[in-house]
Amino acid sequence: MSTLKALKSVNGFKRTLLEGLLVLVVVAGAIFFKSTLPGGELRAVSTIFMFIALSQAWNIIGGFTGYASFGQVVFFGMGGYFTAAVMLHLHFSFWLALPLSGLFGAVFAVIIGQPLLKLKGHYFAIATLGVAEGMREVVINLPDITGGGAGISVPIAGTFAKTQYLGDGGFYLLFLALALFALAVGTVVSRNKFGYGLRAIHQNEDAAAAVGINTVRSKVMAYSLSAFITGMVGASYVFQQVTIFPERLFDVEITVLMIMMVVIGGSGTVVGPLLGALGLQFISEYLREHFTNMHTFILGGIIILAVILIPQGLVNYIREGRRTKNYSLLANIRRYRL
Amino acid sequence: MDTFLQVTAYGLLQGGLLALVAVGFSLVWGIMNIVNLSHGAFVILGAYIAWEIQGWLGLDPFLGMFISAAVLFCVGYIFQRFLINLIVNGPVFITLLLTFGINMILIQGMNLFFTADFRSIQTSYGSNSFEVGNIRIPLVRLLAFLLAIVITFALVAFVKHTRTGISIMATGMDRGAARLMGIRARHVYALTFGISAALAGMAGTMIATIETFDPSKAGKFTLMAFVVAVLGGLGNMYGALVGGLLMGLVQGWAGQYLSGTWVNAIAFLVLIIVLVFRPNGLVGKAFYAARVEI
Amino acid sequence: MKKTPRTSAAIIAASCLAVFGINAIPAASAADVVTITLGASVPLTGSLAKEGLLTKEGYQFCQEKVNALSTATIGGKQKKIEIVFQDDTSKPDLAAQNLSKFNDKGIKLILSSYGSANVNAQAAVVELNKQTMVDSGGADDAIFNKGYTRTFNVMSPASEYATSMVRAIAEMAKPKPVTMAFLSADDGFSKTVTAGGMKAATALGFTVIGPQYFPNATSDVSAALNKIKADKPDVILGSVHFVEGVAMIKQAKELGITPKSFAETVAPPILDFASTLGPLAENVLGSSQWSSTVKGQEKYFGKASNYASEFLARFGHEATYHNAEASAACLAMVLAIEKTKSADAEKIKTALAALDVQSFFGRIKFDSTGQNTFKPMVVIQIQKGKIITVWPRSIAQAKMIWPYVK
């Protein structure tokens, strides 16, 4: 108990150091485990890392700022197609295309964010969804650049393949790096003034404006930051899949998964989306492999139970429980039901 | 000129069908602030029920749709009363997740129970159309369009002139005050969701008669409902109709005068433009976008 | 808000250990000498669920037939095959991932998924993992012009889908129609089909109208129909999938468009086509990978007519070409296994490349890109609600009815 008290009393720089140490341990563990996993499992875990990064990115605009973007996948798709197009037509190396895709996403976010972030609540959600669906259609209709409905392939063999295909192990590390980057960004945002500003906007936008926070600038920055990360994840996904099609890259289900992971894990926290991504991906992979016919059924049931019993998200539930020493699930239902 | 009139007429008819799919969704969202991601699944379920009714009882779909609506009313009432009501006071996205879970279960349930075969309801008058001048008007699409209009006006009359309807609107405006006035909010919410499901069932029957359906189409109808409801605006019973008609026209004209594949892109562009200039939709009420509930 | 890094850390560490720990348990070892395991990832849920189920039935039927024939042996022991199924939910990245997981378990022999997008993704992974795959569900030429050497497609290529109908009409329609309008969905497969069909039509002397494109999976093709209405085409040829195919027939009637014939790819041979359209489906032409009158036989399935009747008895519905092509893919794999007397992916790959057999599915032989350019497609027509083979003439069950009379 005294160690716990001692740790809790450590503040500021020392605490950051401890956390950094912990992260290094986990990362080392992840890299070690990479060598024990065969190819298919590496892919499955890479997908987990991908969703960790995506959910952290969504959390910045949706969890902290409270602007639920239903069209987050548009940055995934735009970043992905940007990479595919420049690698195929302009023969860029992947390592050059990667940050450029992030920037492409961020710039796009700034452009559409200006009008869209004026909308509130569900209207913002639908507008972003409209943008996502609309951009998919645009991509389908520009076959010279994007291959259209026939898909587009990143060159991985021959003279135009500037970057060697990373292989399952390589992509594992790439997605791990992206996940860590997203976690780092999320942690930084959650602890500094910018993040507090976002939380203020979530709770009461007018009051936040009244105390001097430039709400428009903050919102747009949050949106483009999440777009930057999402764009880079999209670029990596495209390189991994080699051949991509618009339906998959702009699939609304990816956004829904992101949102689910954040909300079930606990929105507005850093650890929440991480747990949500780990848990949900793992469960859905497991169910799909072992219950070939019934897996969506069971997954739907699990989601319903999770949402009814722990609507505030796992991390918030645990934190409140520790604070009030009350872990009752029924109390949850009593609190939130009509 | 003839082509223009033909395309306009066809677009309006298509718009009526879109409105029919969206009206229940808009009702639930406007009154209860619940985004029902399983709306499309209810539509498809309604289509399956009508298809089965035609198979067993030989009932024409225009009669079968009432049975479909009744069954779905019960299903919707039960879902709301015993499942969704449990999380209504929670954070906003929770209802989203819950309905998404329901959606997964319904779709896979239908997949397993009915199989993924493509189906459609056949009627003897199914592809009849009649000529007005040089324009052809398909019969069943016209009937679906008229149904959409009738339902919209019936709904408006219902919420304005019946006690139940007024209590639904009251609960939607201010749940706390409505409860203080003695309105049983849990029951009213369940009623509203039931009505929405029933409307989805009717829409499903029409879809079954006009097109083919199978469980994987559910997502398409949910998306359709979303876009049309927001385009028209929430809080106003005419919203779905207005949004649907506009969307139908835009898609029809875009398909004819631009390359056929740009249709969907144009539709979403219109949505975004409307939202930017009229953030609450064409005829929506601003109040409904950001309520605080107790 | 109080930060609790220690709790968070504990949670992270525990979950990571759980994830990695479970995966560190060694996977079960693969085939023993007598049972050869094949891997099949098919869409059992999602937009391709229906075709995925038909593919699975085809594979299962093949497994049962092969295991029932006790005279086929390897090294003195009776050979049995076992097919492991996984659901890829109609998503290409899952289809590819499932193959990687099969590879982890040592399953190197693969039967493909359904859908050109899925198979495209799978073909890439199969090359990288040095597995060998027989394809029964992705006919797009784009899969086979990337230089892959380990995927073999038993189906006729995409460019044949429309071409076969064009040839049938040129040969048998009297009086010969003049104009042919091409309407197409805008996905890669349909575009390849349309390009092939238009080339053949021009070469055979038809006047080509179009192509007019519409979005894939739409149920409203009225815009495309309106655009060709004024030209009054003799034949409307649609490169479609089921939903658009049905919509095309219905909406053409609604809009008062009456060509001398409708010809569509993919949709008419599907049993639901005739049942959903009823009388409207009469005399619509379609192209199919297989019909029950195809010539050829071998020891497992016998003739095409045997396949049709036994499949009906086993599964309770008529065999469609999806069933047949799946069984044919499995058959090709089994024949290669027999020839090499092993389950080695490299040897099977070589054996498949050299395969040439007349089966219930027709001729199965692969060209240098892995496609089966040696098997012609079959043209069918819906007559009195039944699917009747009308071309090639040598295997026709009845004469083609021309023109399409409403």
Q: What pLDDT was estimated at residue B190?
A: 94
Q: Do C213 and B259 make contact, defined as CB atoms within 8 angstroms?
A: yes
Task: List chain C residues with CB under 8 Å of A140.
Answer: 186, 215
B130 contacts: CB under 8 Å, gap ≥ 6: B136, B137, B139
**Residue C85: half-sphere exposure toward Cβ, Cα within 13 Å:** 19
CA distances to A99, A280, B80, B107 from A308, rounded to whole Å, are 40, 16, 13, 20
Residue C205, strand partner residues: none
Residue A14 burial class via C-beta count within 10 angstroms: exposed 0-12, middle 13-18, buried 19 and up: exposed
Query: pLDDT value at position A336?
Result: 81
> Is the CB of B124 inside 8 Å of chain C's CB atoms?
no
Confidence of residue C18 (pLDDT cuts 50, 70, 90): very low
Tell me how far apart the alpha carbons of residues C154 and C363 are, in angstroms, rounded to a whole number: 9
Could you write out the DSSP letters of every residue in A215-254? Answer: HHHHHHHHHHHHHHHHHHHHHHHHHHHSEE-HHHHT-HHH
Per-residue pLDDT, C7: 55
* pLDDT class of A51 with cuts at 50, 70, 90: very high
Whether residue C224 sits in one domain with residue C193: yes
Give the residue from chain A lying closest to C145, CA to CA.
A153
Chain A residue with minimal CA distance to C98? A40
Separation between Cα atoms, residue B108 and residue B116, nearest integer Å: 10
- C186/B129 CB distance under 8 A: no
Task: Determine the pLDDT at residue C9.
Answer: 53
Q: Is A275 within 8 Å of C191 when comparing Cβ atoms?
A: no
CB contact under 8 A, C215 and B256: no
Average pLDDT, whole number, for chain C? Answer: 86
Judgement on whether residues C276 and C382 belong to the same structural domain of the protein = yes
Instruction: Inform me whether the pLDDT recorded for A273 exceeds 50.
Output: yes
In DSSP notation, C90-149 reads T-HHHHHHHHHHHHHTT--EEE--SSHHHHHHHHHHHHHHT-EEEESS---GGGTSS---
- pLDDT tens digits for range B5-23: 888 999 999 999 999 999 9
pLDDT score, position C288 = 93
- Would you say residue C8 has pLDDT above 60? no
Q: Average pLDDT for consecutive 10-residue bins of chain B (294 residues)?
A: 87 92 91 89 95 89 92 95 87 81 92 86 81 86 93 91 91 88 93 95 93 89 90 86 93 86 86 84 68 47
ipTM confidence score: 0.85
The confidence score (pLDDT) of residue A6 equals 57
Neighbour subunits, C (≥3 Cβ pairs < 8 A): A, B
| Residue C20 binned pLDDT confidence (cut-offs 50, 70, 90) | very low
Chain B stretch 190-229, residues whose beta carbon is closer than 8 A to a beta carbon of chain C = 210-212, 214-216
If you ran DSSP here, which 8-state letter would residue C316 be given? S
Asked whether residue C224 falls in the same domain as residue C125, the answer is: no
Q: List the single range of A277-281, B60-64, C71-75, C339-343 with lowest mean pLDDT.
A: C71-75
Q: Are C380 and C287 in contact (CB under 8 A)?
A: yes
pLDDT tens digits for range A283-321: 888 888 888 888 888 888 988 998 888 888 888 888 888
Nearest-by-CA chain A residue for B280: A123
Taking only residues 1 to 30 of chain B, the set having a beta carbon closer than 8 angstroms to any beta carbon of chain C reads 3, 6-7, 10, 14
- C224 and C102 inside one domain: no
Average pLDDT over residues A23-32: 83
**Higher pLDDT pick, A29 / A72:** A72
C213 to B11, C227, C324: CA distances (angstroms): 18, 11, 30
Residue C394, Cβ neighbours under 10 Å: how many?
7
What are C's interface residues with B at a Cβ cutoff of 8 A?
45-47, 49-50, 53, 90, 186, 212-215, 218-220, 222-224, 226-227, 242-243, 246-247, 250, 253-256, 270, 272, 276-278, 280
Q: Is residue C215 part of a domain?
A: yes
Residues 222-251 in A contacting B (C-alpha not used; CB under 8 Å): none
C30, pLDDT greater than 50: no
Residues 36-75 of A with CB under 8 A from C: 36-45, 47-48
Judged by average pLDDT, the poorest of A37-41, B49-53, B225-229, C31-35 is C31-35
Kindly state whether B119 is in contact with chain C, defined as any CB-CB distance less than 8 angstroms: yes
Interface residue A168 vs chain C (CB under 8 A) = yes
Q: Give the pLDDT band of residue C12 (cuts 50, 70, 90).
A: low
Rounded Cα distance, B98 and A95, in Å = 40
Distance from CA of A296 to the nearest CA of C (A): 8
Mutate to test the interface with A, among C1, C2, C22, C23 (most CBs of A within 10 A): C23
- Which one of C48, C55, C182, C254 makes the best mutation probe of the B interface by having the most chain B beta carbons within 10 Å? C254
Is the residue at C29 inside a domain? no
Q: Cα angle vertex C307, ends C305, C308, to 5°?
A: 65
Q: Are residues C193 and C271 in the same domain?
A: yes
Return the bridge partners of C222, or none.
none
Domain membership of residue C27 (yes or no) is: no
d(CA C98, CA C87): 8
Average pLDDT, rounded, for chain A: 87
Considering only the beta carbons, identify the residue of A7, A40, A151 that sits closest to C100: A40
CATH number of the domain enclosing C105: 3.40.50.2300
Q: Which of A26, A30, A43 sits opposite C100 (nearest CB)?
A: A43
Give domain status of residue C16, yes or no. no
Domain span at residue C122?
35-156+293-365
Q: Pairing between strand C35-42 and C356-359?
A: unpaired
Q: Are strands C132-135 and C261-265 parallel, antiparallel or unpaired?
A: unpaired
- At A7, the pLDDT band (50, 70, 90 cuts) reads low
Residue C16 pLDDT greater than 70, yes or no: no
- CB-nearest to B111 from C49, C223, C224 is C49
> A2 pLDDT exceeds 70?
no
- In a domain, residue C12? The reply is no
Nearest-CA distance from B185 to chain A in Å?
A: 8
Which has the closest alpha carbon to B199: B58, B11, B26?
A: B26
pLDDT of residue C311: 94
Q: How confident is the model at residue C76 (pLDDT cuts 50, 70, 90)?
A: low
State percent of chain C over pLDDT 70: 89
For B158, the 3-state DSSP assignment is: helix
CB contacts, 8 Å: B263 with chain C: 214-215, 218, 223
Minimal CA separation from C395 to chain A, in Å: 34
Give the lowest-confidence range in A175-179, C91-95, C310-314, C354-358.
C91-95
Lowest-pLDDT choice from A123-132, C13-22, C324-333, C339-348: C13-22
Q: Is the CB of B122 less than 8 angstroms away from the CB of C278?
A: yes
Say whether both C386 and C267 belong to one domain. yes
How many structural domains are present in chain C? 2
Instruction: In whole angstroms, give the CA distance from residue B209 to residue B51.
Output: 9
Q: For residue range C147-168, list pLDDT tens digits in order.
A: 889 999 999 999 899 999 999 9
Among the four given CATH numbers 1.10.260, 1.10.3470, 1.10.10, 2.30.30, the one describing domain B2-128+136-289: 1.10.3470
**pTM recorded for the entire structure:** 0.86
Do C124 and C70 fall within a single domain?
A: yes
CA–CA distance, C276 with C256 (Å, rounded to integer): 20
Classify residue C131: in a domain, yes or no. yes
Please indicate whether, in this complex, the C-beta atoms of C4 and A241 are within 8 angstroms of each other.
no
Kindly report the nearest CA distance between residue B198 and chain C, in angstroms.
24
Cα–Cα nearest to B141, from B20, B272, B293: B20
Q: Is A159 helix (H, G, I), strand (E, B) or coil?
A: coil
The whole-number average pLDDT for the span A98-103 is 95
Spatial distance between the Cα atoms of C215 and C217, rounded to a whole number of angstroms: 6
How many Å lie between the alpha carbon of B261 and the closest alpha carbon of chain A?
A: 7
User: How much is the pLDDT for A306?
Assistant: 87
CA angle A101, A216, A117 (to 5 degrees): 65
Over range A186-215, report the average pLDDT: 91
Shortest CA distance from A257: residue in chain B:
B97
At B293 the pLDDT is: 46
Asked if the model's pLDDT at residue C48 lies above 90, the reply is: no
Phi–psi pair at C288, nearest 5 degrees = -140, 150
| Residue C48: closest C-alpha in chain B | B216
